[in-house]
Structure 1
Amino acid sequence: MFATAEEAELAFYDALERADLTRLMQVWADDEEIVCVHPGGLRVVGLHAVKESWQEILANGGLAIRPSSPTVLHSMMGAVHSLVEQITVHGTESTEVAHCYATNIYHKGPTGWRLVMHHASAAPAQVDAFELQDSPGLLH
């Protein structure tokens, strides 16, 4: 279904934005060992539990999440994407922006690349802090 891990990742964030649970679950591997950790939440394990957790989150509509600053580790059968998610929440009186660090792990199987783990946690509120910590040091 997904020819690359990057293609699966684009579909993941697109499905979240559209609140499309069916499309979202097509990105996930059809496996009971999948894992999802939402910011500040408990570890959710298994296809049914992961689906229920996203169903609850998407019940209020789509999520405006912009992934950025990816660091990608790739092999023939697996890929790990570490990135920063910028989440925009439109309230009745104001708009707020929060940041999360996210790790998405993909495996390549007979049906292409599928998500097997998504782990997101709160990141510092100061965007400048990303630049200080996310840039590798120069080796001499």
Structure 2
Amino acid sequence: MFATPEEAELAFYDALERADLPRLMQVWAEDEEVICVHPGGLRVVGLHAVKESWQEILANGGLRIRPSMTVSSHSMMGAVHSLIEQISVKSADGTEVAHCYATNVYHKGPTGWKLVMHHASAAPVEAGMLDLHDKPGLLH
């Protein structure tokens, strides 16, 4: 269904915004070894448990999450994306923004690329600006 892990990732975040649980679950691998960790939550293991966790979250409507600053590692059959999620939440005081660090792991199977793990955790407001990166050495 998804020709690349990037395609699967776009479908994942689009389904979250639309609160489209059937579409969201099309992104996940049909495997009992899938794993999801929501910010501040417990580890959820297995396709049925993952579906129930998203169903509970999406019962309140869609999530406005903007993925950014993706760092990717790809191989022939797997991909890992580390990114920053910018989450916008409307409240009585206006729109509030929170950040999460997220890791999405994809495997390539007979039906294309599928999500096998999503792990998100709270990140500081300055996420991205203060992240540490290797700096190339100086040549003398």
- Say whether the fold is shared (TM-score over 0.5): yes
Higher relative helix content: 1
CA distance, structure 2, for counterparts of residue 94 and residue 134 of structure 1: 32
Amino acid of the residue matched to residue 99 of structure 1?
A: H
Matched length: 138
Cα deviation digits, residues 58-114 of structure 1 (max 9, x gap): 000000000000000000000000000000001133210000000000000000000
- Asked if residue 23 in structure 1 is aligned to residue 16 in structure 2, the reply is no
Q: What does residue 43 of structure 2 align with?
A: 43
Q: What does residue 106 of structure 1 align with?
A: 106
Q: What does residue 55 of structure 1 align with?
A: 55
TM-score, length-normalised on structure 1? Answer: 0.95
Amino acid of the residue matched to residue 95 of structure 1?
A: T
Q: CA deviation at 1:134?
A: 4.3
Q: What does residue 133 of structure 1 align with?
A: 131
SS at match of 1:61: coil
CA distance, structure 2, for counterparts of residue 98 and residue 132 of structure 1: 16
Q: What does residue 69 of structure 2 align with?
A: 69
Q: 1:101 to 1:125 in 2, by over 3 A?
A: same
CA distance, structure 2, for counterparts of residue 68 and residue 136 of structure 1: 19
CA distance, structure 2, for counterparts of residue 61 and residue 121 of structure 1: 21
SS at match of 2:9: helix
Q: What does residue 86 of structure 1 align with?
A: 86
Which sections of structure 2, spanning at least 5 residues, go unmatched? none
CA distance, structure 1, for counterparts of residue 102 and residue 126 of structure 2: 17
CA distance, structure 2, for counterparts of residue 57 and residue 135 of structure 1: 33
Q: CA deviation at 1:136?
A: 3.1
Q: Percent identity?
A: 76
CA distance, structure 2, for counterparts of residue 110 and residue 37 of structure 1: 26
Q: After the TM superposition, list the runs of 4 or more consecutive aligned residues in structure 1 that deviate by more than 6 angstroms.
A: none
